[in-house]
Structure 1
Amino acid sequence: MGMSVTISAASAQDAEHILKLQYLCYQSEAELYGDYTIEPLTQTLDDLKDEIARGHALVARLGGEVVASVRGVIDTEGTARIGKLIVHPRMRHHGLGGRLLDAIEGSFAGDVAAKRFQLFTGNRSEGNLRLYRSKGYAPVASEVAGPGITLVTLEKEAATGAFVASA
């Protein structure tokens, strides 16, 4: 490609690009589960801006284009909830999802409140499950979220004094 992908903190100015990418990326999930009303496809721009302001959000850029993103927030029990890890379809299978997951975990490393990392995906999303397991996440719960949709929650403990991943 000639350019390298860089990962940095997302800002409110990135929100529109993230939302468009999110809509593109979640089409395959919606098709897999036969449900086009899933939250990532119905989230508003204002809701996304609020989400970015409340927690950690990262974007990966190829040149000036946002090609991937991930978000997370720490709850009152010390769980860093990671969500909406998205990678542009043309950029998949090159390790970018794993790099973003490492980077978002690293962004929580300086926060002593973070005791564990948690995320979820659909039970039929094999690529997602494979990535999360390869990064040390283990299933801790599952929940029926609708007809034909079971969400699997995966978790791993935050390492104390963890190495902060560089982006």
Structure 2
Amino acid sequence: MGMSVTISAASEQDAEQILKLQYLCFQSEAELYGDYRIEPLVQTLEDFRAELAHSCVLVARLGEEIVGSVRAVVDEEGTARIGRLCVHPRLQGHGLGGRLLAAVENRLVAEFDAKRYRLVTGSRSEGSLRLYRKFGYAQVGTELDRQVTLVSLAKDATTYATSA
């Protein structure tokens, strides 16, 4: 393609494109669990716009196209909850998910004074689990959301991410 992927903060104008990407990317998760009512597939544009207003949302762009996204929010105790990390299927396997994860971790520390990171993924999502473990996350629990077993992972924010 001749262009490099850049990572930056999302804007309100990106909301619809991010939500479409999220819907595309989480189809494989829904298929894996036989559940097409998972939260990333039922989130409305209105709900996402509200989330965008109070969250740290980053996007990966290839030219004008959004090809990846991640979001997080930091609570009063300094725990950053990272979620909805997704990369367009045609670009998966090239390190973009890791770049997005590192970028959001770095921004959460620098701008939101995050002390620790937490995230959740499905127990069958081997690619996601492998990525999170590579970045130093350790399993801290599991929970059942309808028929999906979710794995909670965490790490201290002093475990530095690689630069994005």
TM-score range, shorter chain: over 0.9
The 3-state SS of whatever aligns with 2:3 is coil
Separation in 2 of the partners of 1:73 and 1:67?
21
Partner of 2:115: 115
Q: Quote the residue 1:159 is aligned against.
A: 158
Report the counterpart of residue 69 of structure 2 in structure 1: 69
Partner residue, 1:37? 37
Amino acid corresponding to residue 158 of structure 2 in structure 1: A
The answer (yes or no) to whether the contact 2:56–2:73 under 8 Å persists in 1 is yes
Kindly indicate whether the alpha-carbon contact (under 8 Å) linking 1:109 and 1:163 is maintained by their aligned counterparts in 2: no
- Poorly superposed stretches of 4+, deviation over 4 Å: none
**Which runs of 5 or more structure 2 residues have no equivalent in the other structure?**
none
Letter in 1 for 2:150: L
**Cα separation, 2, equivalents of 1:14 and 1:82:** 19
Confirm or deny: 8 A CA contact 1:120 1:151 kept in the other structure.
yes
Cα shift at 1:83: 0.3
Question: Secondary structure of the residue that 1:136 maps to in structure 2?
Answer: coil
Q: Which amino acid aligns with 1:49?
A: R
Give the number of aligned pairs. Answer: 164
RMSD: 1.5
Are the counterparts in 2 of residues 82 and 117 from structure 1 also a CA contact under 8 Å? yes
Task: Tell me how far apart the structure 1 counterparts of residues 76 and 24 of structure 2 sit (CA, whole Å).
Answer: 32
1:43-98 Cα distance to aligned partner (Å, 9 max, x none): 01111111111010000000110000000000122110000000000000000000
- Structure 1 residue 113: deviation in Å? 3.9
